[in-house]
Chain A
């Protein structure tokens, strides 16, 4: 058997690209202003655990004319990940960037970029970075997220640098699945990642044209996972807002 110390440097680097298994997610060091709901204590789900149809969607943009290698793109992407998100959506991750095992809180707008009063997010949920190397990185979603699945961000050399987001996802529960069937949730997802890639391309002074391909991997829904509705982050975030007056009165009473 080959010992770890005799393995090539690349091999060692790649073996540390994976996060260790976790039973429950734990958020640490969240900046002020973030609404941290529906992440702490949640389990990771993955594409086998959701309720709805399983989709694989690939969004690609070619960085035409940019003198930048795939490795350089991934390095920038990992270090500045939140900056490329569409307006109204916030990614609260580690200050040091994307790294295996990191848990990030997401404060998301609704369809069409709709937010609550004062720009409040409609959904608070999260992701965990399960994998990160020099060429790609991946997230997995927890209970309550709109989608159960994996999202992989990568860049490759293909007669120039091409950047890609690939999602392998199911709607987590029946409510999200209805949203998908009506085209609301799916469309929001498409707009989100297309805009993210355009923002990333703009960082390299490229006007990005995003290509998209969609494959229905599993047309069946998984009724055994209908119970996931209990964790629905959109419902729980709404309940949190509805409870705000009660918390305010309670705080007054305890002062």
Chain B
């Protein structure tokens, strides 16, 4: 049975961006962890939230739904959502669900930070 199997660490970049390191599985049970991480990342005024998927173990369709609601929440706060560390498999899933049209995907943390103006 799938339950909470995710941890998220927020890194402050001393600027207008914050990085959320995701480790584990993003499914329906990850909602609190993801939203808590977002709140923490936003608390210091970050205008860009960068999601690090390098240690993502699994994401199901409920996880995609969570990313959609996170994106809407960020957009309402005039924040951008960026991502890096996605495997080819999850890049395809972002393409399938058209999340790649709203969350910009980068190859590395350096590239994502540069896109965030850091």
A→B interface (CB under 8 Å): 11, 14-15, 17-22, 44-49, 54, 56, 70, 130-131, 133, 135-138, 140, 150, 152, 154, 156-157, 166, 168, 217-218
Contact = CB atoms under 8 A, between A and B. Distances in A.
Contact of B96 (A18, A48, A166, A218): A18
Closest 9 CB pairs of A and B: A138-B61, A131-B61, A21-B96, A21-B95, A218-B72, A46-B98, A168-B65, A47-B68, A48-B102
B61 A44 contact: no
Given A21-B92, A157-B1, A140 B97 contact: yes
Contacts of B71: 48
B96 A136 contact: no
B96 A150 contact: no
Contact of B101 (A21, A48, A130, A137): A48
Given A130-B97, A168-B69, A150 B61 contact: yes
Contacts of B2: 135
Interface of B: 1-2, 28, 58, 60-62, 64-65, 68-69, 71-72, 76, 89, 92-93, 95-99, 101-102
A15 B60 CA distance: 9
Contacts of A156: 1
B58 A11 contact: yes
A20 B96 contact: yes
A71 to B, nearest CB: 9
Contacts of A17: 60
B60 A131 contact: yes
Contacts of A154: 28, 62
B70 to A, nearest CB: 10
Nearest to B95: A21
A245 B89 CA distance: 49
Given A56-B69, A152-B62, A157-B1, A49 B98 contact: yes
A150 B58 contact: no
Nearest to B62: A152
Contacts of B76: 218
A107 to B, nearest CB: 25
A50 to B, nearest CB: 11
Given A18-B92, A18-B93, 15 more contacts: A14-B58, A18-B89, A20-B96, A21-B96, A47-B65, A47-B68, A70-B1, A130-B61, A140-B97, A150-B68, A152-B61, A152-B62, A154-B28, A157-B1, A218-B76
Q: In this complex, which of A54, A133, A154 has the most chain B Cβ atoms within 10 angstroms of its Cβ?
A: A154
A20 to B, nearest CB: 7
